[in-house]
Each structure stands twice: as structure tokens, then as C-alpha cells.
Amino acid sequence: MFIEADNCTEDASVIALKFDKYMRHFHRKTKDTDGQDKPMWRTRWSAPDPQWGDATHPPVLLVFNQVGKRPALKQMEKVAALTREHWQGQAADGFHLYQGKMPIVATTLELLPEHGPAGPAFWRFGREGRQNLWDAIGNPRRDAALARRAEEARRRLAQEAAEREAQRPVCADCGQKFTDDRWKASIAVDWGRGNSHPHLCDDCKIRALEAERQTEQGRTRAPGAGAPGGRGGAGLEGRRLARTLAQLTRARPPGSARACPLLGQALVVGGGCEAGRHGQRR
Ligand SMILES: [Zn+2]
């Protein structure tokens, strides 16, 4: 922050000219250590990083000391009117943005000891009433509006999350809530990738599939198939045979047990054997 003192002896236009010089100074650029052009004042004084859309130049505090015969309050008003182009912000949604502007704050030597920097002793050009120093050089209405928006967004997200949670399916078997992945898979279009049992959680689905596999095996395993001494035997061939037989027995009406001449396999479940029939016909 820069400070200008005035004894109320100079004409307001002379004081206003000083702010033209401040603005020219703030516009000067120089190469920083990283080779990038930066405002020169930023390379000399530390300041908060500029905020997008509201990057102001450094504030200037104008202190009037009522020594001369010009009334201090009148001087403030005159200087404010003459320097409007340097400080006037742009109206946004319930606040102002001061992009590229210079906050000018005025006070008097009488007000300063009476209130101190934390009291309402500072008039920011363009605002109603007096504020404490930090509010005067800052943008409390913008800060409040942004905080309000952030809070609204947070509340909206929380509500959406709660609504989504209320819709989360539970497993029809164990009652456990679906994980996100299981939920996604349960409503996905099944393009033949085995996304079965959409009403069950992952664990129950695995158990159900295992139970179905065992039932299927028990149903299709014929005497001799996989049994010691049987011709089907264990292993891949045995399983393939069992599967083929299962398909055949499902396709044919139940009948009496007999041997399939082609496969050489006894059939006890169901009664038909497509391969056998074809063989017999030839
Ligand atoms: Zn379950």
C-alpha cells in the first residue's frame, strides 16, 4: 500500500494528478528473473497473487491533515470525482470487480487515532460509508458472494450424493448395498459378456454361478463319464462330452436308457442321442 499525505493546501486537481502518475507507474513492466514481463511494482514489493477478473493495482491511502483552509471531506469528494477512471469498478452479480483499477482510500488525521486501522475510518472511493482498512482496500462483498456460491454448490453436491445413495440397489440375497462398480455393471447393457444376476452383489453372484455350475455337472454326469474305468474319463474330453450330452438330453424327450452307438456312451438322463440317431439312419 502506498500512502499520500495532504495538508489541505493543494487544489484537488493537483492531488488528482498524483494518481495519474501512480497509474503510469503501475503500468510499467519489466522482465522478471524468469524472463517474463511483469508489472515492475510486483518485482519490488510483495503482494498477493492477482485474482482472475479482479486483479487490482496496489491500493493508495490518502490521508488529509486539516491544516490548510480547504475542508478535508470536500477535498476527498473532489479528488474522487477527478480520479474516477482509476478506481471505478465494474458491476458484477451483487458486487464490483476492479480489474486493472487502483483502490483509493481516504481518511483524516482526526479519524485515524479515533478508530485505528480496525475501525471505520476509511472511505473507499466509489463506496457508501466508511470501513475498516482491510475491508476498504479489499472486496468483502465479492468475497461474501463467492463464499455463498461455494456453500450453495457444496450443499447441492451433498444433496445429489444423498439422493443417489438412496437409489443404490441392495443385493436381493444378502441385503448388502451394491458397490459403484457392481451398480454400474448391473444396469449396463449385457452384450453377451456374462453380466448375469443383476439383482445380486458380486459375492452372491459368484456363489450363485458356482452353485449353478455344480447343479449342471450333477445333472449331466452319466455313469461312466468321469467315473473310474469309464470311457469318458476326467479332463477336457470328459467335460466336453458331458456338455454335449447335456445339450442332447435337453433337446430330446425323456426315454429309456440306452447306449449311443456313435459315442459309445450310456445315457440314463433323458433318452435321445442325436449323434446316435444319425448313425443309425445311415
Ligand atoms: Zn449379496
Sign of CA dihedral 243, 246, 248, 250: negative
Domain boundaries, the chain: 2-142, 221-282
Enter the DSSP assignment of 176: P
Question: Ligand 1: distance of its center to the CA of 180 in Å?
Answer: 14
Question: Ligand 1: distance of its center to the CA of 201 in Å?
Answer: 4
Residue whose C-alpha is closest to residue 53's, from 98, 118, 2: 98
Q: Contact, 265 vs 249, CB < 8 A? A: no
Question: Ligand 1: distance of its center to the CA of 198 in Å?
Answer: 11
- What is the predicted pLDDT for the residue at 46? 77
Per-residue pLDDT of the chain (282 residues; tens, 9 = 90+): 888 888 888 899 999 999 999 999 988 988 888 888 888 888 887 777 777 778 888 899 999 988 888 888 999 999 999 999 999 999 988 899 998 899 999 999 999 888 888 999 999 999 999 999 999 999 999 999 999 999 999 999 999 999 999 999 999 999 999 999 999 888 887 666 557 888 999 999 999 999 999 999 888 765 554 444 444 444 555 566 566 555 544 544 444 444 444 444 444 444 444 444 444 443
Distance CA 115, CA 138 (A): 18
Question: Ligand 1: distance of its center to the CA of 161 in Å?
Answer: 23
Question: Ligand 1: distance of its center to the CA of 182 in Å?
Answer: 11
How deeply is 81 buried, as exposed, middle or buried, from its count of CB atoms within 10 A (0-12, 13-18, 19+)?
exposed
- What is the predicted pLDDT for the residue at 261? 44
Question: Ligand 1: distance of its center to the CA of 221 in Å?
Answer: 30
The C-alpha cell that represents 192 in the structure block: 453377451
Question: Ligand 1: distance of its center to the CA of 184 in Å?
Answer: 16
- What is the predicted pLDDT for the residue at 153? 97
